Chain A
Amino acid sequence: MANLLWLQGGACSGNTMSFLNAEEPSACDLVTDFGINILWHPSLGVELGDNLKELLNDCLSGKTKLDIFVFEGSVVNAPNGTGQWNRFAGRPMKDWVAELSNVADFVVAIGDCATYGGIPAMAPNPSESTGLQFLKRNHGGFLGKDFKSKAGLPVINIPGCPAHPDWVTQILVAVATGRAGDLSLDQFQRPKTFFQSFTQTGCTRNIHFAYKVSTTEFGQRNGCLFYDLGCRGPMTHSPCNRILWNRQSSKTRAGMPCLGCTEPEFPFFDLAPGTVFKTQTVMGVPKEMPPGLDKMRYIKLTAAAKAASPAWAEEDMFVI
């Protein structure tokens, strides 16, 4: 039996909603099969008002053991570092977060906001939002870069806007079954299982990437979204095309450019005019390239690809 507490700060509930789509194991399976005891969750909790405060205080006092503390959403510090703009159960949410993180065996950040601050932390960051242990790329965040939970691990970050339900359930299962030690984390404390390969890995448009056939406009079944429409699939670490969304598809498969939402810079370029759904180029060469490529290699690669591309590559291959 592992006690789990799930709170939301500056959040949209998107990760909760995504989590409810989980299958094998489903949210119910986590409870009935893995013995995860959900002490409280903003969408599922039964307790109200004073009863909830009592429950939270019991976690702090140790009367109730807190095994897993899950946080969704950014930590709101506004105004002026007081956190008064996001109060919960009678006090700033950030105070609950600070204290609960210290008594929990494991702390798990779910989604971009909890991981890096996400959209709320975009300039000018009016809510003074930060992630639990990162603010964008900067290590530290709300809990500080040296933070370790009682079990000796830093915050386990599961970014994504939202995080895929399987990423969440598999991490919770690992923690609940005492296998958290097996998790290997990358520099952003993301489980490598999910965040070592690229979003592009497994994309159905890979063949068009290879032959440099571009999707020039939305609504085209053919082509790669990287060259013109600003797709970040080749530069983003996520398994979106190998662990499908809702068991059906992925954004890039469906024709929507990857926004890079598992990376700390999301939303990229602060959504400055001219950057949304448009590949940023210098003299026709993308400013950002798949890791390991430089401008010269890119030009050689695409020239060769274009020259070698067979006629059928330009034809619509996903027929209606």
Chain B
Amino acid sequence: MIAIIGCGNTNRSDDGVGIQVVKSLAAILADSKMPEVKLFDSGTAGIEVMFQARGMQQLIVIDACISNSEIGCIFEVPGEELIVEKEPSFNLHDFRWQHALFAGRKIYKDDFPKDITVYLIEAGNVDFGLELSPQVQKSMQRVVEIILAKLRDKKHTNATTNNSISIKKGKIYLSQEIYNKYFAGSNSAALIDWQGQLLLMPVVSEAQGGLLIKVINSRGDRVVDAVDVLRRLQLSEDACYDCAAQWSTEMAGLLLSIPIAKPSGSVNA
């Protein structure tokens, strides 16, 4: 499921642009039957982002920004870039969404979206007022279009794959459901670079080796730390890849489609 959250103060003109995006989307999606999308107006309560995003696979945050750029500029920023830990202070008002993302990851761990995109729109006027500047109004509509296009793609991929698996910091995350469905009983897996895809095969006998499938939380989600294999494939360690996964009966393993930067054809025992 995907959460789309608008942030900002609608009483301060352009500062409310994120809320406007969400409102427009709500109007458009009202009868489009997209139950996998959750829209939320977080306003100035940054901490709410944490609670609203919990359990989602994907998160989109929209906010205004003041970066001395041209008014109306749109920035599409991966969440990784903006997440920061809350500096200590004595009130909760300055607990912003970027802190909420940090806290959410910390607290909810795998139950918090790994795929986070933030749309920032450069504000022109943040004085008291309810109207957006013309440039910001335009950008607002543009962001709505971008997000709609994204949702359409998402719908398309969802239809053709049955699972999604994320790869982050050299680790492959398997939900408890996927583990139980395909890997139940195995403590290790072999990871093979196979015809431009990654093949993750459960290993049955301990003596065969393989990468350890670690239990990482009480729910029973697993992780396979394959840092050296993924490094060899030149996957960025900072990026998060969401990849479609499909069980291949022929290969007796889970096929992961990810953009492989440099095929190497070798096997990790």
Residues of A within 8 A of B (CB): 24-25, 29, 33-35, 166, 169-170, 173-174, 177, 184, 192-198, 201-202, 206, 239, 241-244, 247-248
Contacts and interface: CB of A to CB of B under 8 A. Distances in A.
- Determine the main DSSP class of A at the interface with B: loop
Interface in B239-269: 268-269
A177 B269 contact: no
Contacts of B205: 196
27 contacts: A24-B171, A24-B216, A29-B217, A33-B109, A33-B217, A33-B218, A170-B212, A170-B214, A192-B206, A193-B187, A193-B206, A193-B212, A194-B212, A195-B206, A196-B205, A196-B207, A197-B207, A197-B208, A198-B209, A201-B269, A202-B209, A202-B269, A241-B269, A242-B211, A244-B227, A244-B228, A248-B227
Given A192-B206, A194-B212, 11 more contacts: A35-B218, A166-B214, A166-B225, A170-B215, A177-B215, A196-B205, A197-B206, A201-B269, A202-B209, A244-B227, A244-B228
B209 A24 contact: no
A173 B215 contact: yes
Contacts of B206: 184, 192-197
The 8 closest A-B pairs by CB, nearest first: A196-B206, A197-B209, A201-B209, A196-B207, A193-B187, A192-B206, A202-B269, A24-B216
A24 B214 contact: yes
B223 A24 contact: yes
B227 A242 contact: no
Interface of B: 109, 170-171, 187-188, 205-212, 214-218, 223, 225, 227-228, 268-269
A259 B228 CA distance: 23
A239 B216 contact: no
Contact of B218 (A177, A194, A248): A177
Contacts of A169: 214
Contacts of A25: 214-217
Contact of A239 (B170, B209, B218): B209
A239 B212 contact: yes
Nearest to B110: A24
Contact of B209 (A35, A242, A244): A242
B161 to A, nearest CB: 25
Nearest to B217: A33
Contacts of B209: 197-198, 201-202, 239, 242
Give the most central of A33, A170, A197, A248: most B CB within 10 Å: A197
Nearest to B227: A247
A242 B210 contact: yes
A35 B217 CA distance: 10
Contacts of A198: 209
A248 B170 CA distance: 11
